Amino acid sequence: MKKKIIITTLVINLIFISSLNIPIFSQSSELLGKVNKSKINVRTDSRVNAPSLGYLTLGETVQILGEQFNWYKIILPERFFSYAYATYLKKKNNKQVEVTANILNLRSSPSMEASIIGKVKKGDILHPLENYGEWIKLKCYPHAHGWVHKKFIDTVSIEAKKPIEKSTSEDIVKPLSLDDFHLKGIISELKPLQDCQANYKLKKGDLCIFFLKINKINNIEDFVNKEVTIKGTRQYNGCTYIDVESILGGR
């Protein structure tokens, strides 16, 4: 009887989670992945027969958001696109539209039946490509995601979401959210990018692991081209970057 009650409770909990539309997949401890084969499908779901959104190329680096079964959930690279209902997009200029709905779905094709591959919120700025009747084709980076089978991705380990050691016991580091990072690497300057506020990059070896926006550090020249630990929050504003709050080391 006790075993039956436990099973019933588990089923009820799973139904409750599903009703909240919470995806059941684990957050990956790795942030980056490198494609190990050419022409790899990115799919709308973690199923081998799910529709393809496009292809990844050999050696391409992608950002991993999470994992489910034998699949990685990744941010779709900049060349990928999505579709959104035009009624909820307001034209700002020839290259930008602004989201007017509180939450707007990004879909894999111009249809209400198409898979949802991302969501944007009111005030977000997107980049239109073409009109499709009541729909607009958009650049979807970094708001949309897809799924890639794990066997085609070699993870690139970087030190992320680990608290910096404190010198006193009273300084307790709280668990970090998905968008809060402690990262180690070498800071170098970044050439200006269109529609991107990042002005530096963080490297490990020859690999750029993150773009950085550094405006709050007065003595940034003391840290450039040196190995440091940065603390900051991931932002999505034209591109993905870390808004740096503090830097340790480098002197």
CATH number (domain holding residue 67): 2.30.30.40
How far apart (Å, rounded) are the C-alpha atoms in residues 202 and 197? 15
Same domain assignment for residues 185 and 108: no
Predicted local confidence at residue 8, as pLDDT = 45
Same domain assignment for residues 237 and 188: yes
Same domain assignment for residues 166 and 228: yes
Does residue 6 surpass a pLDDT of 50? no
Identify whether 5 is part of a domain.
no
Same domain assignment for residues 146 and 95: no
Give the range of the structural domain holding residue 149, as residue numbers without chain letter: 24-80+141-157
Higher-confidence residue of 249 and 147: namely: 147
Nearest CA to 205 among 183, 185, 225?
A: 185
Give per-residue pLDDT as tens, 131-142. 988 999 999 888
How far apart (Å, rounded) are the C-alpha atoms in residues 210 and 231? 12
Distant-in-sequence, close-in-space partners of 183: CB < 8 Å, separation ≥ 6: 158, 159, 160, 202, 209, 210, 229, 230, 242
Identify whether 89 is part of a domain.
yes
Same domain assignment for residues 31 and 150: yes
Identify whether 110 is part of a domain.
yes
Predicted local confidence at residue 218, as pLDDT = 79
Identify whether 44 is part of a domain.
yes
184 DSSP β-pair partners: 229
Identify whether 48 is part of a domain.
yes
Same domain assignment for residues 169 and 223: yes
Nearest CA to 76 among 108, 38, 124?
A: 108
Higher-confidence residue of 57 and 178: namely: 57
Pick from 112, 130, 157: which residue ends a domain? 157
| Total number of domains constituting the chain | 3
How far apart (Å, rounded) are the C-alpha atoms in residues 243 and 64? 19
What pTM, to 2 d.p., does this model score?
Answer: 0.56
Identify whether 14 is part of a domain.
no
Predicted local confidence at residue 181, as pLDDT = 73
Identify the band that residue 70 occupies on the pLDDT scale cut at 50, 70 and 90: very high
Same domain assignment for residues 241 and 189: yes
Same domain assignment for residues 50 and 86: no
How far apart (Å, rounded) are the C-alpha atoms in residues 139 and 124? 13
How far apart (Å, rounded) are the C-alpha atoms in residues 52 and 121? 25
Same domain assignment for residues 177 and 245: yes
